[in-house]
Chain A
Amino acid sequence: MCNAKVIPISSYTLEVFSFDILDQINIPLYASYVSAGFPSPADDYLEDRIDLSKYLVQNPTSTFMMRVKGSSMQNANIHDGDILVIDRSLKATDGLPVVCFLDGEFTVKTFRKTNGKTYLYPANPAYKPIEVTEEMDIRVWGVVVWVLHKPVKL
């Protein structure tokens, strides 16, 4: 019997350990030479500098990026020209911003589930929410996990 080796995996609960991080691990260079004077008191406290891509991307194999065009989500702080970080491994739940495929285009909307009905909400009073029915061919493509916005010079 080799029960011990078997790990039941569900992709929703799975905590992803990404192997490609291994070859990126930077070994910190010690801040001082061995022979020259007193060792830096910080040597024992060195940590890796923050790696943004590790912070923004939890699951590299299922993470994609898209560029935003248009303003229908501006009240949700998703603006024209922003870059979206999208994780396909996450399940769309009520209130999350999602990328969906609607009428031949990708678009971002807030996913809403109320009283057994599903809606896609824009975040701009000029646009109307859409109720998703069985017949409509609407697919959620992925869940938006970060919005990258470059500030404009005022």
Chain B
Amino acid sequence: MTTLFGLCDCNNFYASCERVFDPTLHGEPVVVLSNNDGCVIARSNEAKSLGIQMGDPFFKIRNFVEHKQLYAFSSNYVLYGDMSDRVMQTLSLFTPNIEVYSIDECFLDLGDFYDVDLFKYAWEIKRTVAQWTGIPVSLGVAPTKALAKVANKLAKKSAKANGVLVLTEPYHIEKALQATKIEDVWGIGRQYAKFLKNHHINTALDFTNASESWIRKHMTVVGVRLHKELRGQSCLELDEVAPPKKGICTSRSFGKKLTSFNDVQEATASYAARCAKKLRVQKSCARLVTVFVQTNPFSEHDKQYYNSKTICLPVATNSDMELIHYASLALKEIYRPSYYYKKSGVIVTDIVPERQIQYDLLDTVDRDKHTKLMKVMDGLTDRFGRSKVQVAAQGLSKSWILKSDYMSPCYTTRINELPVAYNLK
């Protein structure tokens, strides 16, 4: 059976989401900042042309922003998450099998579409996503996933392709491999790229011309798989369902430095509650809870401190109350007064499916009651928004909350933040 994959990638996804609801940003340089408005994590093409790099700290570009030469946004993951869902659901109408690879990338199984005019079909996909969601996408189509990645990259780069590239003819595939630098190949890290260049392998084409045994010797079975994929032999299938996560971590930098136990405890309790919620969404429970705290390693004047503590629970749980309780116990052991804390986090591991919990003979917790309560709480959260009902330990002051001074409204998920149509003309 012949295989055929499409890789659909949203162009400058975060910036594009902002542009859908503020079209004045079209053609303007836009950047999106990391949590806490720390540094640049996404750039529009115009921002790239301004010379702004990924990871540039915000203070370095503040001048541009203040002079309106650059538009900066705090990351609005509520908005980006919803827009991503919309793009993926639109894509799923074009083929029954898709693999959501990341928030802005999706593989499409086009194996049954060889008889279709692929170029036309790919354009139809691109056009439909743009019309329905407002998000511009690029599409690469090829016989394997690795080649689809190559096609996608070229589709984005080449003005002639204009966002769509179909690689099915051997001659076209060869040309594309030749135009792809080895360091741009999917799965080739910096170290391997350096190693391969030392052996005069500079392009993806050079890589496919190397012998399989040589690759196996130097790059293990992963390299061999990539080698086969680039030669048009499909080894990587579509992963349609993401496996449940083995560990969940919720950790953030605080909006400002915290020193009192109560403040750090409120933040930590909220992170524990986030972990519990994530566990409930994937219908599993965790047995190990790790809490860590950390001062700001970049602040030279402050005394430095880092510590973590893991607690093993008697029975695996996904209840807010239990996780918060144990996270607080762990925090009590590692908290030291008179430090300026910058970050804390909760990690839950030893995760088991909800239905496979090993109960404890001497367990005193009424688990049915917890389950019911959490169900009601999740229902209320869905209906009225986050943090309307919560465990009291999470606190109300929220002095630790993230800095996000440049956040756009959650246009698509909150009724009081809808975009406005001005009927004044």
Contact = CB atoms under 8 A, between A and B. Distances in A.
A60 B421 contact: no
B93 A66 contact: no
Nearest to B24: A104
Interface in B94-139: 94, 112-116, 124, 127-128, 131-134
A9 interface: yes
Interface string B396-412: 00000000000000011
Interface in B214-251: none
B425 A88 contact: no
Contact of A66 (B90, B134, B420): B420
A2 B132 contact: no
Contact of B131 (A72, A88, A108): A88
Contact of A61 (B23, B90, B420): B90
Contact of A107 (B86, B92, B418, B421): B421
Contacts of A141: 23, 134
A14 B93 contact: yes
Given A2-B115, A62-B86, A72 B425 contact: yes
B418 A66 contact: yes
B124 A83 contact: no
B419 interface: yes
Nearest to A127: B425
A67 B421 contact: yes
B418 A71 contact: no
Interface of A is mostly: mixed
A20 B89 contact: yes
B115 A107 contact: no
A3 interface: yes
Contacts of B419: 64, 66-67, 106
Given A59-B132, A62-B132, A108 B423 contact: yes
A68 B133 contact: no
Nearest to B117: A8
Given A68-B421, A70-B423, A70-B424, A5 B112 contact: yes
A23 interface: no
B104 to A, nearest CB: 16
13 contacts: A6-B112, A62-B86, A66-B421, A68-B421, A70-B422, A72-B423, A83-B418, A84-B421, A88-B133, A105-B422, A107-B425, A108-B423, A122-B425
Please provide the 9 A-B residue pairs with the shortest distance between their CB atoms, ordered closest to farther. A70-B423, A62-B132, A72-B423, A70-B424, A11-B128, A67-B418, A61-B86, A61-B89, A106-B421
